[in-house]
Amino acid sequence: MSESSPPPWSEAREGVLELLPAMIAAMPLALLYGAIATTKGLSPLEVALSSGLVFAGGAQLAAIELWTTPVPIAAIVLSTFLINARYVLMSASLAPKVAHLPFAGRLLGFHVLADENWALAERRAMRGRITAAYFFGSGAVFWVNWVAWSWAGTIVGPLLGDPRRFGADFAFTAIFIGLVAGFVTTTRAGLVVIVSAVAATAAFLAFGSPWHVLAGALAGMAAAVLSWRDETGEALA
C-alpha cells in the first residue's frame, strides 16, 4: 500500500458514515418485516436467516405479504425475481469499477449490495478508486443493521404498530431519490432518470407492483442506449 493510500479502517469508516442515513431509514422497514413475518408463522431465527441470506427488503416484504397457507410459490418467485432483477443491472454497472479487487472481495461485496450502497459506490467511482474496505466494509455493516432490526421486529414490532402509518416506509425511497439525483450531472443522465421514472410510474398505475420495477429498468436501459454518443459526438442510435 502506498503512503498516500488511506488505511482500510478509514475507508470502511467513510463508507459507513455515508450509509448512516440509509441505515437509520432501514430500521422501520426491517421492524415491519420482522413483525409481519412473525404473524405468518416464522420464528425469530427464521426471520434473521431470511434477512441475512436474501438481504433484499423490497423482495422480502413482497414475499411475506403473499405468504399464506399453502404458500403460493410461483407468485412469490415471480414477484421477487421482478423486484430483484435490477440487481443484475446494478452489479453489471459496478463490475468494471471493482474489477481490480480480489474475487472473494467482489463476491462478498455484491452479496451485501443494496440500492443505497450501490449508489454510493457509483458516486465513489466518479471521484476515485473503490477499495475493498469501502465496498465490502460499508455493505457488511448495512447487512448487519438489516438483519439485526429484522430480528428485533419479531419482538418489538407488534408493540410499535405499522410504521407505514407515519410514512416511515417512504424513508428508504426518499434517500434513494436523493442519491440518484446526484448522478444527474448531464442532460443524458437526466433523460435516463426521467424516462425510467415515467415508465415505472405508468407501469405501476396500469399493472401494479412489481411490474413497475422491470418497466423502469428496461426503459432506463433503452434511454441510455438510444442517447449514447461516441467520442466523435455521433449518436449510436
Count the Cβ atoms, other than its own, within 10 Å of residue 89.
Answer: 14
List the chain domain ranges: 8-183, 184-237
CB under 8 Å to 176, separation ≥6 — which residues? 115, 116, 119
CB under 8 Å to 40, separation ≥6 — which residues? 64, 67
pLDDT of residue 200: 84
Q: Is the pLDDT of residue 14 over 80?
A: yes
What Å distances lie between residue 103 and 22, 106, 160, 211, CA to CA? 27, 5, 42, 33
Q: Is 11:135 a contact under the CB 8 Å cutoff?
A: no
pTM over 0.75: no
pLDDT of residue 2: 46
What backbone phi and psi angles, to 5 degrees, belong to 72? -80, 80
Least confident of 71-75, 160-164, 172-176: 172-176
pLDDT band at 40 (very low <50, low <70, confident <90, very high): confident
